[in-house]
Structure 1
Amino acid sequence: MTIYYSLTFLLLAAEMVTFTALVIPFPFAIRKRVFSFLSESPIVAKIAYGIKISFIFVGILFFDALQRMFRITAESDMAKTNQQGMGVGDIRTETSFAARKFYAQRNVYLTGFTLFLSLVLTRTFAINLELIHSQEEYAKLKKASPSSGSDIEKKASEYDSLKTKFESQTKEYNQLADKYNKLTGGKADKKKD
């Protein structure tokens, strides 16, 4: 394996270790500190910028390996059709084509998985940050809810006291309306009064 594919393999291995570290279920406090450090540190931002540049090179390697794989496959197919016409095949030529095809496919898979895992890592990191922020908001709301519970109880007691006052005043009004009717000798409509 050439040096740039060896470096790509090391990048892929580092991505796998990083992904494993991101999905390990740490306690909330530890995870919050780690992710806040990773998202706010200028050193980590510079390292991430360098890694993004390396992904550009890995992308170029991916397209080069893909092109090479298609070319070798076409050459292999052409050699097979030529050998079938002649009736005699050279085992060394077939082995050489098979080895070249294997290496080309290996390079495509290596670079492709490296690029794919970079997308997965980015999204996983963003999801974890959103989860941490959501858990912080939940904790804030949970702390605020007991005081709002006492506010609700106060409002309910005020409502009950107002309801009893309203009922007592309605009774008193009805009694006064009945006395008024007796004194005046007429029937008055309680609703109109």
Structure 2
Amino acid sequence: MTLYYTLVFVLLMAEMAMFGLLILPLPYSMKRGLFTFISENPVVAKIQYWMKITFVFILILFIDSVNRVYRVQVELALASDGGKNGPAAVMGHERLEVQARKFYSQRNMYLCGFTLFLSLILNRTYVMIIDIMHLEDRVRAAEVTSSTKSKGKGKEGAPASEKDAAEVQRLRAELEAKDRDIETLKKQADGLSREYDALCEKYGETQKVEPKKVK
């Protein structure tokens, strides 16, 4: 791979490690400290700014790789029609070279596409975890308020206590929905990782066979 595609691969590995860290079942106090550091640290904010610019360049590489895949597909189709509708048919090692270029173009397209898609999953997971932490804070505050009011006596305390209990139930339902969304994102990321591993295995097999056929 060229240098910039190697950097894209390194970024993909970093995204996978970050996603694993986000979904790691850490204690609440540790998780809160980690996300508070990420959301408030100015250095992290600068890194996020430059990462957005980096993803713009990766998007450009992705568009370019899609264009290359299309052009190689057209070239391979012209080579496969026996020269009836285009130039003379490409034979032997030249055809293998076209097929190798097709695979490299597809590899670059998948690499950039996976990196962009995982960045969206990573950002969505981060936002959802922040929302869950805010909901947990509200649930705890509502539970404290409800338990405090339930200890009091009098007619005015009962409606307030029922209202707080209903608020706690609503917040718990929102937490469960957020948890289900995170599980869905986790499954999507796992599927993405499996697809990329399969592509890497296919690439490794091609690397073993290609030197014997292509000069």
Shorter-chain TM-score category?
0.7 to 0.9
- What SS does structure 2 have at the residue aligned with 1:155? coil
2:36 pairs with 1:39: no
Q: How does 1:115-154 map to 2 (within 5 A)?
A: 115-151=116-152, 153-154=153-154
Residues 29-76 of structure 1: CA deviation (Å, up to 9, x unaligned): 111110111011111000011111100000000000000110011011
Residues 165-184 of structure 1: CA deviation (Å, up to 9, x unaligned): xxxxxxxxxxxxxxxxxxxx
**Greater relative contact order structure (CA < 8 Å, 6+ sep):** 1
CA displacement at 1:84 relative to structure 2: 7.2
Residues 108-156 of structure 1: CA deviation (Å, up to 9, x unaligned): 00000101011111100000000001111111111111221023x3328
Aligned to 1:81: 81
Alpha-carbon spacing, 1:67–1:155, altered in 2? closer, same or farther (3 Å): same
CA displacement at 1:83 relative to structure 2: 4.9
Return the alpha-carbon distance in structure 2 between the equivalents of residues 49 and 156 of structure 1: 52
Return the alpha-carbon distance in structure 1 between the equivalents of residues 26 and 13 of structure 2: 22
Alpha-carbon spacing, 1:126–1:105, altered in 2? closer, same or farther (3 Å): same
Aligned to 2:173: none
Aligned to 2:13: 13
How does the TM-score come out when normalised to structure 1? 0.76
Aligned to 2:101: 100
Alpha-carbon spacing, 1:109–1:28, altered in 2? closer, same or farther (3 Å): same
Aligned to 1:56: 56
Query: Would you say the 8 A contact 2:78–2:89 is kept in 1?
Result: no
Letter in 2 for 1:96: E
CA displacement at 1:81 relative to structure 2: 1.1
Gaps of 5+ in 2: 158-215
CA displacement at 1:24 relative to structure 2: 0.7
CA RMSD of aligned residues (A): 2.1
Aligned length: 156
Q: Percent identity?
A: 39
- What SS does structure 2 have at the residue aligned with 1:147? helix
Gaps of 5+ in 1: 158-193
